[in-house]
Structures are given as structure tokens and as C-alpha cells.
């Protein structure tokens, strides 16, 4: 799900970047930067959520009585 949000945000950033190149409006640049930030946050959250089960398994295997 976070990858989809990131991909849509990248597309939004690209379209607003094109809008900035065509019309030279400052708000298009701001929207482009905002979509880029949303994409970065979405990908970081996705990486964190993906790594969490692996960390939990690693912790359980290191405990003496763990399964």
C-alpha cells in the first residue's frame, strides 16, 4: 500500500514539475516538492514496516527459550 502511495505521489510530483516548466508558477514547484516529500515518507514507512517482522524473528531466535 505504501508503494502505491509513493508511486502516485511521484506521478503527482512529475506532473506538477511539468506544470512549473510550462507556467513558471511558484505554487507548482511547492506542490512538486510536497508530493516528493510524501513519496519519501511513504517509502520510508514501507521499508520500516517490511523490516519489523524480520527484526521480531531475529529477537525471538536469540532468546534462550524462544521458538
Residue 67: inside a domain: no
Percent of the chain whose pLDDT exceeds 90: 73
Total of domains in the chain = 1
pLDDT tens digits, 3-25: 999 999 999 999 999 999 999 99
Task: Judge contact between 51 and 18, C-beta under 8 A.
Answer: no
CA angle, corner 20, sides to 18 and 25, nearest 5?
Answer: 160
Residue 18: inside a domain: yes
Helix spans in the chain (H): 2-23, 26-62
CA 41 – CA 45 distance, rounded (Å): 6
Whole-model pTM?
Answer: 0.80
Residue 17: inside a domain: yes
Q: Could you list the residue range(s) of the whole structural domain that residue 6 is in?
A: 2-62
Amino acid at each position: 500500500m505504501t508503494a502505491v502511495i509513493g508511486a502516485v505521489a511521484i506521478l503527482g510530483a512529475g506532473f506538477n514539475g511539468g506544470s512549473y516548466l510550462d507556467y513558471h508558477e511558484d505554487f507548482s514547484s511547492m506542490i512538486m516538492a510536497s508530493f516528493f516529500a510524501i513519496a519519501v515518507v511513504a517509502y520510508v514507512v514501507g521499508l520500516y514496516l517490511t523490516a519489523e517482522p524480520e527484526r521480531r524473528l531475529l529477537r525471538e531466535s536469540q532468546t534462550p527459550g524462544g521458538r
